[in-house]
Amino acid sequence: MSKEIIVSGIRPTGNLHLGNYLGAVNNFIKMQYEHNCYFFIADYHSLTTHPNPIDLHKNVRQVLVEYLACGLDPEACTLYIQSDLPQVAELYMMLNMHAYMGELERVASFKEKARTQPNNVNAGLLTYPVLMAADIIIHKATKVPVGKDQEQHLEMARTFGNRFNRIYEKEIFPEPFAFNYGKELVKIPGLQGGGKMSKSDGDGNVINLNDSPEVIRKKISRAVTDLGPTEPNTPPTTPVQNLLDLMAIVSGNEKVSHYANLYANCSIRYGDMKKDLAEDLVNYLTPIREKIAAIDGDENLLKRVVQIGKEKANISAQATLIECREAIGFRGF
Ligand code: ADP
Ligand code: TRP
């Protein structure tokens, strides 16, 4: 297999949760030894929500620690903080000149935000896909591991890259496409009976990678189920299926069959199932939680990682930016 250039980032909004890990970071880890990977912490993107400086720094640090604890290897991939690449901001500005209000206003994530937070519809929110395009094409990425929710943004990255190539008559940017390891994209369910595990639905909906065993037990004990099966052999309701899906990941299929059978013959006791699931989650996450704790105290390691990442990412970004400046006509004297 030929090497792809891979770029992906996560916005630092707090701790990583099991969904982030299984849907994104776990894939990064597999890719880092096979491809040319750039993984970053998207702190510029965070600014759309006006975080206070202390929280912003704390959250960036936390994601960095957790990326490392999950197994991102700064020797194998380029692991960096987005704001350590000012070239991204410059490319974003260039791309903005050819990004049109109409196309930006039609983006689903923008429309959703404009609806849900009408008193903070800022230009950064409108041009979020332009910044994301800059992140991706600055390294000339060909593949981008992201969830389904990011597909429209990725399509815009192709649009903006192609447009730049066409306008300035230079083949600078290849087209980036979505990528995931293995088969379909995984979707880890949340604990509140509904959709995916997401921090936007509150802390009770997610299992964070560094939740203590007590917190995990409490969250699972409060996870939504139903009133119990009344007819034998009916398929589990969504909330119960969600817990079985989590169980399939951390406990294995044998346990899932056990509880699915109990459900089918109406003798399931959710308290037992939850206790079992909670203990397996605790065991599954303990090695990561312990690594988080170990890395968290290692200030020198963090400093070194950030510095190496910054240097490596700068080389790639700078090379692209020189081409862009030249193409645009910033040619110096
Ligand atoms: P959240 O929904 O908690 O705000 P983000 O949108 O910041 O999470 O997601 C960061 C990354 O983690 C993305 O690549 C996304 O696809 C992945 N991800 C988040 N939640 C899940 C989930 N429940 N299942 C699978 N992948 C997820
Ligand atoms: N928009 C992505 C998210 O919300 C984060 C992100 C920013 C990103 N820039 C990126 C992902 C570039 C992949 C590539 O999850």
Residue 229: give its domain's CATH number: 1.10.240.10
Within a domain: 270: yes
List, for the chain, all residue ranges whose pLDDT scores fall below the cut of 70. 1, 181-185
Q: What's the pLDDT tens digit per position in 268-307?
A: 999 999 999 999 999 999 999 999 999 998 999 999 999 9
Within a domain: 269: yes
Co-location of 289 and 305 in the same domain: no
Q: Which residue is it, tokens 């620690």?
A: 65
Side chain identity, residue 80: Y
Q: How far apart are CA 13 and CA 195, in angstroms?
A: 19
Within a domain: 127: yes
Q: Parallel, antiparallel, or unpaired: how do β-strands 36-41 and 143-144 relate? A: unpaired
Within a domain: 74: yes
What are the Cα distances from residue 76, in Å, to 1, 15, 79? 17, 24, 9
Rounded to the nearest whole angstrom, what is the distance from the C-alpha of residue 223 to the centroid of ligand 2? 29
Q: What is the CATH number of the domain that holds 73?
A: 3.40.50.620
Residue 280 tokens read as 């397996």
Co-location of 87 and 163 in the same domain: yes
Contact 324, 91 (CB under 8 A): yes
pLDDT at residue number 104? 98
Residues 6+ apart with CB under 8 A from 2: none
Per DSSP, the chain holds a count of helices (H) and strands (E) of: 15, 5
Residue 147 tokens read as 């969830």
Q: What's the pLDDT tens digit per position in 2-30?
A: 899 999 999 999 999 999 999 899 989 99
Q: What residues flank ligand 2, with Cβ below 6 Å? A: 7-11, 42, 45, 132, 135-136, 144, 146, 150, 153
**Which domain, by its residues, includes 256?**
199-293
Co-location of 149 and 217 in the same domain: no
Q: What's the pLDDT tens digit per position in 303-327?
A: 999 999 999 999 999 999 999 999 9
CA 194 to chain centroid, in Å, comes to 20
Number of separate domains in the chain? 2
Within a domain: 9: yes
Q: Tell me which residue has its CA closest to atom 15 in ligand 2.
A: 10
Residue 316 tokens read as 């790639």
With a 6 A CB cut-off, is 10 part of the ligand 1 pocket?
yes
Residues 6+ apart with CB under 8 A from 188: 18, 19, 22, 23, 196, 197, 245, 246, 249
